[in-house]
Structures are given as structure tokens and as C-alpha cells.
Structure 1
């Protein structure tokens, strides 16, 4: 990886985020199991888990992980931070294997290994984070013709999906809901980077919240998050979570890296070999993620009729999609 202290900070925060978020699913599931033994299960509409300390520990752990993930975008480029979200699946799968006795199939282990190899490849070849001294610089990058064109294309595509495709195809084609979340998510991450940079600079003594641009990016993030919550919930309620998760991860990560490349021009300082290596690492992670999800039930015991169903985690920065 490039000799950049900011990249190192971003890497540590991103990995820490994955550890916390991966752990949170296991802790929350322990809480759900304990609550299910004492009252109505969550799958049956019960809310006994709200009185279970283990479940709340899991929620707190997840919040800590999301804060770390948010902070990571302030220090490192999206091409480094976003793909590392796959590590939370690995950590969750490994903990489930040893703590919950949910056996990890050999193909699942191969998926974990592929994600690790891909993540390491990206980390070793990640570009430098662009030096930004004011949120106004981010605004300047955001209103350049290239990124403005991307933003307009995303807005048009999302409007077509929401107003034409959803009423006609939403309940039968998962890609409609997931496409809305992924396209909007790429803009969300750009807004998160802007707000994260503003916070970092403000903590360093250079107040950025006196600028209109900081508040614009903050409102953008909140609005995009609400839109994603709505359509991600529709996707998860309509289709199999095990299918939604990897497809959403692939689309979200792809559009986020594309948006970051256009806005921050993170690959300008790299040669073709470095870019190709990063793309290879990215596709390796995608392969590992799909393999993990496709084989997640292999080798496990059949689910009993009254046992709770716990959705597998969805990846990406977005805390709203993991809740």
C-alpha cells in the first residue's frame, strides 16, 4: 500500500469496523436465541429480545462498527474502504462456526480465503487519498462536469426505476429494488466522505460547519439513507436475503468505486498494472462473497419448523442496510 498515514488510519478503521459488525451479528443472534427460549421468538412476531442484554450488546457493537466505517471514509479512498466490507461476512462466518456451531462448509472456507486474498491485494495497491484542505474542495470536485454527469445519470436512472419499473416489475425482479439502493448508495458514500472530511478538519481546528457545502452534504446523506432504507427493506421483505445480500454488495461496491473514481480521480496517479491488480482483487472478493452465500447452508442441520430465521448480513458502508 502507498506510504500514507491516512491510508493506514483508514485501513485500521475499516478492518475494525468489519470486526465489530461481523461480531455484532453473532452477539445479536445469541440474544435472539436466549430471548426465544424465554418468550416468543422474533420470527413469530415476538419482541422479547428487547429485554435481552446480549441483543443490546450486539446493537452497540454494530453502532461502534458503523462509526468506525464512517470515519474510515474520511481518511482512505473508497476503493480501499468499500471492498473491505466483505471482511465482516468472513468474521461473522468464522465466529458462527466456532461459537454458534453453524458448520462452515469447505467451499465456505474457500470463499473466506478468496475474500482475504482479494482484500490483501487491494490494500497493497490502494492509491493515495487525495489531500483535501477544505470541504469547498470536495464541492469543487462534485460540480465538475464528469461527476455532475454521473449524478444526473444516477438521478434519471433512479427516477425511472422508482416511477416506472417499481409499479410494474418491483415484486418480481429483485434487481429493481437493489439497483435503486446501489445507485443511491454510491452518492451516499460520496456525501459521507465529504462530511467525514469536514469532521476531521473541524476536529483539527479548521471549522468546516460554517460553510453551506458541509450542510448540503449532510442533508444529502440523510436523504439518500432514508431512500435506501425504504427500498432495501422492500427487497429484503420480497426476496430471499441470501440472494439480495451478495447482489447488493456487488452492485453497491461497483457503483461506489465508479463514483469515487470519477469524483476524486483516485487512479490518476497509478499505472495500468496497479489498476488491473486492484480490479483483480475486487473481482476475487466478489467471487469469495458469492461462494460464501451460495454454500452457507451446506453441511448445516436442517432448520426445525419453530426455529428462528436470522437474516444474513448485508454489506457496505450503509448502517441502515445492516440494521
Structure 2
């Protein structure tokens, strides 16, 4: 009991007691995170392939495809790996490693989905890999065992209370602009996602760390702070996904992906610095090189994601001849708008849903 009280009021001493093989634990977190991000990229491309195959072969819904479900399972495993990685390595390192997913996805899409490899992809991938190397090399190399007492101490620390107060005020202002003033700028929406992401990172690391500590050492699930952090994690994830989906509806993915990565990574690093004090005692050179690695990763992801080739959409005023049964022509016809033929053709070939029998 005395040791627990001492650890609450003197967290640095508590850290010194519980560090065991920090380098091995640190590397384990990096490996788990990289593997998880690679699995996520594979799952995304598998799901994309399933969508492409379903649209070409038949009219069954994509969720009836075993290939699509295998992608979903892989994504779940990858996200679980990222969740576990927070229990072994600093949050300020795990979040930037998300660039691995972007790099792997670009490689897989070129090799297996036959997408075009652009010079910007090569240059962006080189920058992202260089940035990732700097992140792994110069990030904080200490690994703290997260316990309920330590999380309780961090929650009531003055620097976190100031941080969370500022975050709530900024979030309310942005939400007011977004909902009441109808400001639909991409930066406003992505900032809402990023502010929620900082809470997600804090709670995910706390929950993952306490579960890891319960498995390897002492049970932490009996403390109320564990369930508080679990609720915060679920709630922040749910609202983060909600705003992210709204952003995907309003803006192109080539804008959302790089901006979300930059904002999420920045918020995760800031959360790790403020809440878990991960940069405490880190040399100035290490901090500079770490930030340089983040910058290179940001630029690399931006170059890979920007101006991706889009599927060319047909002009809605024309009907492709190859969509008419029995016709193999590639020409397009435009029916007269004033004739009854226009309405029937449009209803039959443009407005009917796939797989649904048309009315005669």
C-alpha cells in the first residue's frame, strides 16, 4: 500500500522501479505496430478488389463476398495490433507509424490492382520511409508500464487539466461553426476529428497498458479508472468515425487522407507529450530529428495520396450503347427529351438499381 501511494505522488520514482528491458519492449511495440499497419493496408486493398470484382461479375451486394469479409477480418487484426502496440511503445511513436499503412497500400495497389505508379509515389514513399527511420531512431526509447495509479496521477496533473480545458473550448467553438454557422471547410471538420483523436490516443494507451500490465504483472482491471478510460475510448472513437465519414462525403479522399494523417499524428504526439510526458528528459537533438521525421512522413503521405487517378464518370446526359442488351457498340446516344422514349430509356438504363427487375 505504501508503494502504491508513493507511486501516485512521485511518478518518476515509480517509472524507475517498473522499467524492465525497455529496449526489448520498445522494439516489440514498433514491430507490432508495423505489422498491424501492413495488415490494414492489405485489408483495404482486398476490400477494394472485392468491390471491383463484384461490380464486374454480378449484382450481388459486396458484403456477400467471402473475399470482402476476409479483408474486414484482416483489418480487425491490424487494428488490434495497433491497439496492443500502444501498451509497449510511446504514443508519440505509434501514431506516426501509420505512414507504413499508406506506403504499403500504394505498393500493393500497384502490384496487385495494376494501378499506375507515378513519380510522386516513388518520391513520396522515399520521404515517408526516411521519416519513419528518423522516428524510430530518435523517438523516446523508454517504455513505462502503465498502471491505474499512474493514469490517475496523470489525469489530475495541472498540465493535463489545462490541456483538456483548452481542447474542450476549441472543440465547442469548432462545433458551433460547423453546426450552427454551417462552416463546412475541410480544416474545421478534420480539426474536430483530431481533437477527438487526442482523447482516443490517451485512452487507448491507458486501456492497452493496463491490460498488458494485468496480463504480465498485477491486475489493473479492478480500478475504476480503467472503465473510465474504456468509456472515453469507445465514445471518442465513435464520434471520430462519425466526423470522418462526414468529411469523406463532403470532400475527396485525396484531401481527407493526408490531412487526417497529419492532424491525427500531431494530436497524438501532443497528447503523448502532455499526458504521458514522453519527451521528458529527451535531448534537444532527438526532439529536432524526431520532428524532422514527422515532417518527412507528412510530405511523403501527401505526395502519395494527392491527385490519385479517379474513375472517369460517364456523362449522365448520354446512354452508353454497351449497356443496352444485344448491343456491342461503344457509341453513346442521346434520346430526345420531349419524346416518351426518353423517359422509358432513362428509367430503364440509368435510374434502375442493379439487380432490381425493371417495370415494363
Pairwise TM-score range, normalised by the shorter structure: 0.7 to 0.9
Tell whether the 8 Å contact from 2:87 to 2:212 is kept in structure 1 after alignment: yes
Q: Tell whether 2:35 aligns with 1:10.
A: no
Gaps of 5+ in 1: 41-46, 307-323
Q: CA separation in 1, counterparts of 2:103 and 2:229?
A: 32
Q: CA separation in 1, counterparts of 2:94 and 2:182?
A: 33
Show the 5 A alignment for 1:93-108.
Answer: 93-108=106-121
Corresponding residue of 1:261: 273
Tell whether the 8 Å contact from 2:38 to 2:104 is kept in structure 1 after alignment: yes
Q: Tell whether 2:93 aligns with 1:80.
A: yes
Corresponding residue of 1:303: 312
Cα shift readout 1:115-171 (whole Å, capped 9, x = no counterpart): 000001110112124423522202211220101111111111111211344331333
How many residues are treated as equivalent by the alignment? 295
Corresponding residue of 1:183: 195
Q: CA separation in 1, counterparts of 2:261 and 2:209?
A: 24
Q: Tell whether 2:56 aligns with 1:37.
A: yes
Q: CA separation in 2, counterparts of 1:52 and 1:88?
A: 24
Q: TM-score, with normalisation over the residues of structure 1? A: 0.87
RMSD over equivalenced CA pairs, Å: 1.8
Show the 5 A alignment for 1:51-200.
Answer: 51-132=64-145, 134-171=147-184, 173-200=185-212
Pick from 36, 43, 47 the counterpart of residue 28 of structure 1.
47
Show the 5 A alignment for 1:207-286.
Answer: 207-286=219-298
Cα shift readout 1:264-299 (whole Å, capped 9, x = no counterpart): 1111221111110001000000011111112433xx
Structure with more relative contact order (C-alpha pairs < 8 Å, separation 6 or more): 1
Q: TM-score, with normalisation over the residues of structure 2? A: 0.78
Q: For residue 184 of structure 1, report the CA deviation from its aligned partner.
A: 1.0
Q: For residue 76 of structure 1, report the CA deviation from its aligned partner.
A: 0.4
SS class of match (1:6): helix
Moved over 6 A (4+): none
Q: CA separation in 1, counterparts of 2:95 and 2:142?
A: 14
Q: CA separation in 1, counterparts of 2:63 and 2:160?
A: 44
Q: CA separation in 2, counterparts of 1:143 and 1:235?
A: 34
Higher alpha-carbon Rg: 2
Cα shift readout 1:244-275 (whole Å, capped 9, x = no counterpart): 11111111111110111111111122111111
Cα shift readout 1:208-230 (whole Å, capped 9, x = no counterpart): 11100000000111111121122
